[in-house]
């Protein structure tokens, strides 16, 4: 299986669960809104290498009792043995199973990282296509959390309803950050590189 096909399958588990929740609510006569921004604004530095980032809610259902935030938790995932590959001829990637809406990427060090490519990636995919309707979710990421653990940096990403291209663009951004290797998926937070 090719990387893009694998990523499409991982994405579909989450997006189909989200669509199922929206479809049930719409069938009951409720208004459904996708990917609602709840923390807007510019990306701000909250401290050295710590960011305050905007955030989106996956699904808001407007029913008889007012709006309800609907979380879609997917315990199902595509399981596969770890895959190691070189991205764009320079980035060593270890990819393990993960959920599309909860993907951890571990960068080995924050020292000397160029943050602008990550900020540009976030802005592009957070605001990619804000328009949606009950049947079609917008093509946006929902969140990115930047955490430091000693020298390592963890990027915890909810790819939301963004297409696989957002994942690939994130690998390109990481490459532009002057990173030589990244561990993605389950266990990435605990990986020793």
Task: Quick: pLDDT tens for 55-102.
Answer: 666 666 667 777 666 666 666 789 999 999 999 999 999 999 999 989
Mean pLDDT calculated for residue range 7-34: 76
CA distances (Å), 64 to each of 20, 132, 150, in order? 20, 22, 48
Q: What is the pTM of this model?
A: 0.81
Mean pLDDT calculated for residue range 117-129: 84
- pLDDT for residue 169: 98
Q: Give me the percent of the chain exceeding a pLDDT of 90.
A: 38
Confidence at 47, pLDDT banded by 50, 70, 90: very low
pLDDT greater at residue 1 or residue 10: 10
Angle at 82 between CA 76 and CA 83, to 5 degrees: 115
CA distances (Å), 87 to each of 19, 93, 139, 157, 170, in order? 31, 7, 24, 19, 11
Mean pLDDT calculated for residue range 101-118: 88
Residue whose structure tokens are 């049930």: 24
The pair of structure tokens assigned to 181 is: 């290797």
Confidence at 193, pLDDT banded by 50, 70, 90: very low
- pLDDT for residue 45: 43
- pLDDT for residue 103: 94
pLDDT greater at residue 135 or residue 185: 185
Q: Give per-residue pLDDT as tens, 151-192.
A: 888 999 989 889 999 999 999 999 999 999 999 998 755 555
Mean pLDDT calculated for residue range 1-16: 92
């Amino acid at each position: 299986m090719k990387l893009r096909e694998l990523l499409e399958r991982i994405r579909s588990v989450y997006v189909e669960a989200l669509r199922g929740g929206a479809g049930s609510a719409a069938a009951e006569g409720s208004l459904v809104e996708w990917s609602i921004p709840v923390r807007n604004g510019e990306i701000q530095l909250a401290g050295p290498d710590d960011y305050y980032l905007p955030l989106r809610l996956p699904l808001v259902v407007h029913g008889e009792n007012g709006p309800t935030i609907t979380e879609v938790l997917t315990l199902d995932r595509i399981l596969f043995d770890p895959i190691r590959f070189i991205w764009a001829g320079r980035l060593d990637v270890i990819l393990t199973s993960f959920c599309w809406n909860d993907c951890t990427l571990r960068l080995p060090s924050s020292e000397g990282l160029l943050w602008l490519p990550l900020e540009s990636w976030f802005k592009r995919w957070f605001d990619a296509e804000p328009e949606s309707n009950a049947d079609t979710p917008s093509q946006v990421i929902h969140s990115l959390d930047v955490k430091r653990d000693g020298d390592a940096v963890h990027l915890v990403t909810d790819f939301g309803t963004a297409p696989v291209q957002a994942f690939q663009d994130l690998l390109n951004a990481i490459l532009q950050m002057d990173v030589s290797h990244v561990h993605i998926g389950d266990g990435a937070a605990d990986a020793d590189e």
